[in-house]
Chains A and B, each alone.
Chain A
Amino acid sequence: MTIVFWILAALTVSGGLATVLLKNTVHCALAVTGAFAGLALMFLQLDAQFAGFAQILVYIGAVAILVVFAILLTRGSETPKGGIFSHTWLAGLCLAAAVFAVLGWAVLSSQHALPLEAGSPVVSVMDIGNALMSRYVLPLEIVALLLTAAMIGAVIVAMHEKGDLK
């Protein structure tokens, strides 16, 4: 629990809070990008280089851009008239607290299953590659299929619009 961890934790949590509390939707999107960056830095602090850089590349480089495009291409960039907080905020808070409790219990109880190590294990990219190709090849192929389906769907949606013009 070094000072770097606290700084990164503060960055991530404040990014998350800002995402839900800010009025301007695009500011919220940029705040969530800040939260992603905080997460990536935490991965890097734990020496998980591949995970950290992949987080930046995928989340900040693609997901954040997607979120921002979605906000802009719809009319979400205007502040909503009815205020940004929903009426059922208490139920939402309870639900979120319940999920957090379950996740926390799962993480803390798993510490007994794994041996306590002094240093962090070094996982090189080659190890990740080997694992993806041998042990996790089925999930890899399923994810690839999912992405292909998404791309084909996007192309079909776009093509129909062109068909209408003709």
Chain B
Amino acid sequence: MLGEGILKGLGETAKNFAGSFVSKERMTTVEYPEERLPLPEASRNFPFLVYDGGDWEAGLRCVACQICEKECPPKCIYIDKSKDKKPDHVGKLQIYPAKFDIDISVCMSCQICVEVCPFEAIKMDSEYELATEDRFGGLLLDRHQLAKSNEYYHKIHPTEAAEVDARLAEEKVKADAKAKAAAAAPKPAAIPAAAAPRSAESIPAAPAAPPKEGEAS
């Protein structure tokens, strides 16, 4: 009959109206900024620099290799190398960035810098409340603002962080084993025997790595 559809529609809206007061499933409003929707794990916004341990300056993983600066499509990263060196996670002395600026008004969140970094030093953050009243310098994040701890990384991307940690530990173990083998080998015969023992060491090092890793982790 004519008008039936309208009446059904009116009934539906009335149900919505009444139901919105009683049931939680109907009222899906998230009252920002008091409540926030939880972000999915793979969400990303702008990059940040990971540091291990408590001191952000000492534990910064970045070694200023400038690969991310060169690969960045909109060229939003600016790096200044330091003059001195400090040891990295495997013990080798590396330079570190004296200046590491990312202009987040330019960054397009393409994650290329993350993909090319060989040191797992730069990762994607999911922080979105970055609005600032300072038009000129407010969106240029410097090294201190970009450095966030590994625990923070675990909090926002747990699966990814666990994988990264596993990889780093594996590398550390490999590097330790290599260093031990290099220290154990005789010094004068190091050069001619360097090729043979190295190839001989690398094979026992590999099967030795899993049990070592097992006790390390």
Q: Do chains A and B touch in the complex (CB under 8 A)?
A: no
